[in-house]
Amino acid sequence: MISVNDFRTGLTIEVDGGLWRVMDFQHVKPGKGAAFVRSKLRNLRTGAVQEKTFRAGEKVAKAQIDNRKMQYLYANGDQHVFMDNESYDQIELPASAIEYELKFLKENMEVHIMMFQGETLGIELPNTVELEVTETEPGIKGDTASGGTKPATLETGLIVQVPFFVNEGDRLIINTSEGSYVSRA
């Protein structure tokens, strides 16, 4: 059991029979009444986001999530195949379970698979990934005065807003939590 006062971003807890990851939390101490913790939780099984309020000092069960390092191999129809780097076991995940993460996945990329008591919950991406620009409009000289952006399609099909100086074939570093451009690689 863990106190809600010890919440931190990324912590996984069991509440109301579900597995939840703490996305954001805030300790609130009103002038009148007891303190409480307002939290934003994401269900690891369904992906649903919910805001929940706990009384200060309330106890919740901490979930033991195993993170196994695996390599993304290939897509087999609607299934995506991952291989454990140590035991060479392969698991398949449906596209619906990793819909958001597919925008950043390339073949042979290493990711962490989240498992709870033998059940595969999903994948955890690195903070940033390096992807190549496959399609974008050419930047016109003089367009950068205002520091504008243009859309660019990356090798995985993800479309991000990039500065005008980015061209087709450039390798970019993309933030996986926001799906945004960070810098050129």
Distance CA 182, CA 154 (A): 14
Model confidence pLDDT, tens digit, residues 152-161: 999 999 999 9
Spell out a b/e string for 13-25, using b for 16 or more CB atoms within 10 Å of the CB, else e: bebeeebbbbeeb
Residue 52 corresponds to which tokens in the numbers above?
């929940």
- Is the pTM value of this prediction over 0.85? no
Q: Which residues contact 6 (CB under 8 A, 6 or more apart)?
A: none
Is the distance from CB of 133 to CB of 168 less than 8 angstroms?
A: yes
For 111-140, what is each residue's pLDDT tens digit?
Answer: 998 888 888 888 888 889 999 999 998 876
Question: How many Å apart are CA 51 and CA 159, to the nearest integer?
Answer: 29
CA 120 vs CA 92, 97, 113, 138: distances in Å: 9, 10, 7, 43
Q: What is the pLDDT of residues 46-85, one digit of tens each?
A: 778 899 999 988 899 888 888 889 999 998 888 999 998 8
